[in-house]
Structure 1
Amino acid sequence: MAEPTEKTPTAPPPADGVSEAAAASPPVATSRGFRFLGEDKSVHKALGGGKTADVLLWKDKKMSAAVIGGATVIWVLFEVVEYNFMPLVSHFLIGALAVVFLWSKATIFIKKSSPDIPEVQISEELAANIVKVLRTDINQALRLLREIAMGHDLMKFIGLIIALWILSEIGSLCDFLTLIYAAALMLHTVPILYHKYHDKVDHFAGKAHVELRKQYQVLDTKVLSKIPRGPVRAEKQE
């Protein structure tokens, strides 16, 4: 008696309107179009990564709340209460030193150990890292200003002029401390909002980018291309 042969399962037929080759081929990744931060750059990476990005994106909620709370207290003290900087620092040090001094004297009468006040010092490594970071940022800013001043990139020049003009208008409406406080609030709100709604923001930013490029092409055709320029010197052959 012959053994029954096993039936191999057959694949389901492709859907109507789809060929077998198309059904067997893997899906092709499509581009997401214009992205404000680049195709493969996340918000966390754009903010430099590390602890700072975690604070700005509210991944460390306690630290983020502490930063916003501290900035709010400072702004209220100096802008609402109109406290001056030197009296505030002096009064704070007077209160802190008085409390610690009385606490240290009280431990003698109650026969308890005196408070252990840690010795705070700025290490040489920390100071060197801070100077290194500041040096890198300042050099990048100076390099960008030199490139713009030499006329290598007209779009950067126009963008910088517009940004400085907007900054001057904002500065005329509020003082420096309020501007810093507003910048701190924006740094703790704009990145997290973009992280949540980046698809919609990139969509509208893409439309704005296309429109700006069209306007720039019109400006270049009608005005910039007609500006006379000096002869370009040929580079010396080695």
Structure 2
Amino acid sequence: MAEPTERTPAAAPQADGVSEAAASPPAASTARGFRFLGEDKSVHKALGGGKTADVLLWKDKKVSAAVIGGATVIWLLFQVVEYNFLPLVSHVLIGALAVVFLWSKGTAFINKSPPDIPQVQISEELAANIVKVLRTDINQAFGLLREIALGHDLMKFLGVIVALWILSEIGSLCDFLTLIYAAALMLHTVPILYHKYQDKVDHFAGKAHVELRKQYAVLDAKVLSKIPRGPVRAEKQE
């Protein structure tokens, strides 16, 4: 009689494969460490998505270049040429209106249709959405300031103090227009650089975050825990 075929060795690799798959989770579900924007939030989504995020991430290169170019021209006119705001706006409007007026009148002599100038109006829905967004942001800022003023969160208090101090130091080194121009350049460079080198930045930021938490724990144990805090709100006690 023929000996029965041994199937144990053939089944072993399959069992090993199943055990390995069960032991090691998929790559997509593994922890990715410290993330500035959270585990499942992209840079595009963090910037609000839509057209604004496309411009800041240079997905629409023409619009992004136009924004940077326009900001550079405005900064040069005010800082280098030393134009004042009202004269600049008046001269630009005078030139634009003169060109359009002569263009419209000139078409009558060459038998061509006048320029099609669209009628620009701000819709009620757009105005309401802008006010709604501003209202939400302002209320959140007021809520944060209230929490800090009541002494509920010392970490936020220290963070705001440091941020305001840094802002005051930057403001003492340059004027407001230069600060706005620098902010515009950063908005068009930092997000795209972070998007490109996100893993490396988050890796080093994670190490810095761990070290800061250690230092804060020491500071809290020696100093902050001894400072009397404001009363805790009723909803937190519940």
TM bin, normalised by shorter chain, reads: 0.7 to 0.9
> Is 2:19 aligned against 1:22?
yes
Distance in 2, matches of 1:114 and 1:179, equals 42
Structure 1 counterpart of 2:94: 94
Distance in 2, matches of 1:234 and 1:117, equals 59
* Counterpart mapping for 1:42-57 below 5 A: 42-57=42-57
Please tell me whether the aligned partners of residues 34 and 205 of structure 2 are also in contact (alpha carbons under 8 angstroms): yes
Distance in 2, matches of 1:65 and 1:100, equals 26
| 1:223/1:100 CA distance change after superposition, 3 Å | same
Q: Name the aligned partner's letter for residue 23 of structure 1.
A: E
What whole-Å deviation, never above 9, does each CA across 1:21-58 have from its counterpart, x for those lacking one?
A: 63353631421111111122111111111211111111
Structure 2 counterpart of 1:107: 107
| 1:132/1:102 CA distance change after superposition, 3 Å | same
Structure 2 counterpart of 1:223: 223
What whole-Å deviation, never above 9, does each CA across 1:167-197 have from its counterpart, x for those lacking one?
A: 0000010011110111111111111111111
What whole-Å deviation, never above 9, does each CA across 1:48-96 have from its counterpart, x for those lacking one?
A: 1121111111112121111111111111111111111111111111111
| 1:232/1:91 CA distance change after superposition, 3 Å | closer
> Is 2:127 aligned against 1:127?
yes
| 1:106/1:222 CA distance change after superposition, 3 Å | same
Partner-residue secondary structure (3-state), 1:67: helix
Please tell me whether the aligned partners of residues 44 and 54 of structure 2 are also in contact (alpha carbons under 8 angstroms): yes
CA RMSD in angstroms comes to 2.8
* Counterpart mapping for 1:1-238 below 5 A: 14=13, 22-23=19-20, 25=22, 27-28=24-25, 29-228=29-228
- Percent identity over paired residues: 85
Distance in 2, matches of 1:206 and 1:186, equals 22
Which structure features the higher share of helix residues? 2
Distance in 2, matches of 1:107 and 1:232, equals 73
Distance in 1, matches of 2:141 and 2:216, equals 25
Distance in 2, matches of 1:230 and 1:152, equals 6
Structure 1 counterpart of 2:3: none
Distance in 2, matches of 1:150 and 1:107, equals 68
Unmatched 5+ stretches in structure 1: 1-7
Distance in 1, matches of 2:98 and 2:213, equals 64
Please tell me whether the aligned partners of residues 72 and 181 of structure 2 are also in contact (alpha carbons under 8 angstroms): yes
Distance in 1, matches of 2:181 and 2:76, equals 10
TM-score by length of 1: 0.85
Partner-residue secondary structure (3-state), 1:109: coil
Please tell me whether the aligned partners of residues 54 and 60 of structure 2 are also in contact (alpha carbons under 8 angstroms): yes
What whole-Å deviation, never above 9, does each CA across 1:119-140 have from its counterpart, x for those lacking one?
A: 2222222212211111111111
| 1:110/1:24 CA distance change after superposition, 3 Å | closer
Distance in 2, matches of 1:230 and 1:126, equals 41
